[in-house]
A and B are shown apart, each in its own frame.
Chain A
Amino acid sequence: MQNYLIEIFGSEIVAYILATVPVLAFIVLFVLFAVWLERKVSAHMQDRLGPMRVGWHGVLQTLADFLKLLQKEDIIATANDKALFNIAPYVVFVTTLATFTMLPFTSIFIGSNADVGIFFVLAFSGAVVAGILMAGWASNNKYSLYGSLRSAAQIVSYEIPTALVVLTMIMLYGTMSLGEITIAQTSHFWNWGIFGGPELGLAKILLVPFMFVAFIILFISTLAESNRTPFDLPESESELVAGFNTEYSGIKFSMFFLSEFANMFLIGSILVIFFFGGYNSPFGYLGNLLGIEWLIPIEQLLWFLGKGMFFVFVDMWLRWTLPRVRVDQLMTICWKYLIPYAFFNLLIVGLILLI
C-alpha cells in the first residue's frame, strides 16, 4: 500500500499521510456505527427501542450527537494544568490510532507488516494509560484522579495475562507479525488458532482445549484493558461521575469517546487475528470461484470487519449483562485466576509444541 502510494506521489511523507486517511475514516465511521449499535443493543436488551427519530431507526442519531459535541464550548478550568490537559486526549487517541497501523485488514491493505506487530500493539495500548493518567492528573479533580489511578492499576495488571497469552500464541505461530499470523491460518477454518492453528496430527487435537482457555483469558484481559463494563472502574458513572473524562467537553471529550470505541474494535480484531483466522474466509472466496481477482480483498475486508464486529457485539452484550466488578474483585480475577491459568496454559502449550 505505502509503496504503491510512494510510487504515485514520489514523496514518502505524502504517501504515509494518505495511507492513514482510510484508517482514520474507518475509525470515525466505525465509531459512529458502534455507538448507534451500542444504544440499540442496550435498548433492546432492556426491552426498549433506543433512538428512533433521526433517520431509519435512529441511524443518524450519533452523527447528530457528534455535530452537537463539536459545537460545544471547550471548557478549561482555571485550576487545570493546561498543557497536560490539552495534550491528554490526543495522546489517548493517537496511541489508539497507532495500533491500527498493525492490523491486517486484507491481504493487501496492512498499515505496516512489521515483524514486531503484536508487540507494538501491546506497547501502544499500554501507552494509553499515560494519556489517561495525564487527563486525570491535569483535571485537578479528585474524581478524575481516582478514575485515572484505577485505570492505571487495571491496565498494568491486565497487561500480564494478556502478554502471557500472546506469548503462547507467538510460540504457536512462531512469528510476531500479525500479517504472517493471519497467513498461517489460511485455506481452511480448521487452521484457525482456536482449532489449534496450523499444527497437524496429535498436537492439534491436544491443543484445542488449551487454545480455548487462551481465548477466554485473552478476551477477559483485553476487555479489562479497554476499560469496558464489567471492568469500567475508571469511568464508573455511579461513583466517579465520569472518571478521568469528567472535566472534558466538546471535541476533547469526543476524542476519548472515539478512542474507547476504537479500542473495542482493536481488541476484537486482535482476538480475530489470533484465534479466528484474521481476514480469512472460512469457506473460500467468491472471487476465486468467479475468477475475479479484485473481489478477494473486498471479501477479506468484509470477513475481517464482520468478525471484529461480532466481538464488539459480544462486548456490548457483556456490558448489558454484567454489573461492574469491585476493585478487589478486579484484582482477584487478574492475579489469582487469569495469571495462573495463563501461565499454566503457556507451559502446557509449550510442552505440546515440543513433542
Chain B
Amino acid sequence: MIKNYFKNTWEGLYTILIGMKITWKHLFVPSVTLQYPEERAKLPERARNRLFLNYNDCIGCMQCAAACPVNCIEIETVKGIPTDMPDPTSKGQKKALWVTKFDIDEGKCCFCQLCVAPCPTEAIYMTDIYEYSEFDRDNLVYNFASLTKEEVQQKQDNFDKFQAEKEAQKLEAAKAKAEADAKKAAEEKAKLEVKPSNDEKKED
C-alpha cells in the first residue's frame, strides 16, 4: 500500500520527464511544414490536378464524356462538310467533327482520371495546377472550345446547308430511282402479262 504510493509518485514524475525529453528533442527537429506561397511541396510525377483539354487535338468522339462518372464534361459537335473540314490533330489523325462546345465543370470533377484513358488522341489530361479557386461557382465551368458563337453558327449553317443539299440530291436520286423503279416495274409487269400467254401456249 505505502510502497504503491511511493511507486505512483515516482512514476508520475519519471514519466513526465520522459515526455519532456521527447518534446525537447522535437524542439530541434527541422520543421516539416512549408511556408506555403513561397515554398511549395513537390508534386509527384503523375499527380492529378486541374483537368486540361488540348482543344486542337480533340476529335469530338465523346469517349471522355461517356467515361466520366459525375457527368462533368459536356460536348457538342457538328459534322464537318467536305469543303470545310477541321485541321487534323497534331499527330495527324483526321477530324470529322467540329467540336462546338467542350465544357468541363472543374467544380464537379473528382479527379478520377477515368476520362483520360479512353481518349484516342490524348487530348485530355491532368495538369499540376491546383490553385484555381473562384469566388463564383460558375467560373469553375471551363469552356475549352475556341470557336466563337458566329463560327459555331456558321458551321451549323454550313452543315445544315450541306445536309439540305444532300437531302435534295437524295430526294432527286430517290425520285429518279422511283421513276426508274416504276419503269422497271412496268416493264416487269408487261413481261409478266406477256408471260402467261406464253405459258398457256406451252401448256397447250
Mark A residues whose CB is within 8 Å of B: 41, 43-49, 52, 216, 317-318, 320-322, 333, 337, 341
| Cβ-defined contact, A321 with B33, below 8 A | no
A44 B9 Cβ-Cβ under 8 A: no
Residue on B with the closest CB to A333?
B12
Which listed residue, B13, B20, B35, touches A321 by the CB 8 Å rule? B20
Cβ contact within 8 Å between B22 and A44: no
Inter-chain contact B23/A321, CB cutoff 8 Å: yes
Interface of A is mostly: helix
Bound CA–CA A320/B9 (angstroms): 21
Number of interface residues of B (CB under 8 A): 19
B190 CB-CB contact with A under 8 Å: no
Is B31 part of the contact surface with A, judged by Cβ < 8 Å? yes
Residues of B within 8 A of A (CB): 8-9, 12-13, 16, 19-20, 22-24, 26-33, 35
Give 14 A-B contacts (CB < 8 Å), ordered by A residue: A43-B31, A44-B31, A45-B27, A47-B29, A47-B30, A47-B32, A49-B31, A317-B23, A317-B24, A318-B16, A318-B20, A337-B9, A337-B12, A341-B9
Most buried by B among A41, A43, A47: A47
Give the CA-CA distance A333 to B23 in the complex, in Å: 23
B123 CB, min distance to chain A CBs, angstroms: 42
A320 touches B31 (CB 8 A): no
Q: Contact between B27 and A44 (Cβ–Cβ < 8 Å)? A: yes
Distance (Å) between the CB of B203 and the closest chain A CB?
112
Determine whether the beta carbon of B19 is less than 8 Å from that of A322.
yes
Q: Are B27 and A322 in contact (CB under 8 A)?
A: no
A44 with B26, Cβ < 8 A, contacts A49-B35, A322-B16 known: yes
Determine whether the beta carbon of B27 is less than 8 Å from that of A41: yes
| Distance, CA A49 to CA B12, complexed state (A) | 31
Q: What are the residues of chain A within 8 A of B12 when measuring CB–CB?
A: 333, 337
Contact assessment for B32 and A216 in the assembled complex, using a CB-CB cutoff below 8 Å: no
Q: How far is A321 from B22 in the complex, measured between Cα atoms in Å?
A: 8
> Least Cβ distance of A333 to chain B in Å?
8
